[in-house]
Amino acid sequence: MEYRELLAAIGRMTGLDAGPARAAAEATLTTLARTLEDEDRQQLIEALPPELTDDFPLDHPRNDGTEEGFVRQAALLGRRPPEQARLRAQAVLAAVAEQDPELVARLHIPEQVRGLFRPPESGGGITGPKGHSAPLTAEEIRSALRALPQWSGDRHALRRVVSLPEENLRAIRHALEKLKLTYGRAPHLEDAADGLEIVVRTTSADAVTALDVELANRVDEVIEEMGAGIGGPS
């Protein structure tokens, strides 16, 4: 498999840039390796680009061979909520099957896990029929919010309010505005009566997409890294 082609295929199905696409590939393929018996695992490792086999030990802990267990382990390795991990895993595994279908056919992959090799559907919050980010469903929003306890919202936008002294809010505002340069996307920031309101949404889709859930997670990471106390959801 070609490293750049694999990342490009993942990016085509998810809208992810090269860095996040690589992270998704590493987490998913490590989980796949841990699902296989020794001989099959070795075949997989030999077929994969070496850039994707260095960060995690591939032989432990073993996966239980179920779809739920696969997604749970991929979510832990990739530090993503389960709903994101599932969609990313589908894209990665579909990209592998696209590049090397004979390998996928040859490996003894548990039947439940084989179901994850189907590409994510356009309505699943990855991409729409025209290649743009697709809106998440109401159920996907509810699932995402369960993993984002500081956030509230609906299919149109996700919101988080930070209540801190003005000097702390200025520092947070500056750090979040810099995400446009370091991450490629930044939230919309609004002054609120009780602090700073942070809003994420995809303007082109006029809705919340998987990319917004990912951005909300990145916002949480930035605020946590700053050691800021936070307010609850609006």
Amino acid at 46: E
Q: Return the pLDDT at 229.
A: 47
Q: Are the C-beta atoms of 117 and 101 separated by less than 8 Å?
A: no
Per-residue confidence (pLDDT) for residue 176, from 0 to 100: 93
Residue 98: CB partners within 8 Å, gap ≥ 6?
9
- pLDDT at position 132 is 47
pLDDT at residue 131, as a whole number: 42
64: CB partners within 8 A, 6+ apart: none
pLDDT tens across the length of the chain (234 residues)? 899 999 999 988 887 888 899 999 999 999 999 999 999 999 999 999 988 887 777 777 777 888 888 988 998 898 887 767 888 899 999 999 999 999 999 999 999 899 899 877 544 444 444 444 578 888 889 989 999 999 999 999 999 999 988 888 999 999 999 888 766 778 999 998 889 999 999 887 788 988 889 899 989 989 988 874 444 444
**Per-residue pLDDT at 84:** 77
**Cα separation, 8 vs 16, whole angstroms:** 9
CB 161 within 8 A of CB 195: yes
Q: Which pTM value belongs to this model?
A: 0.56
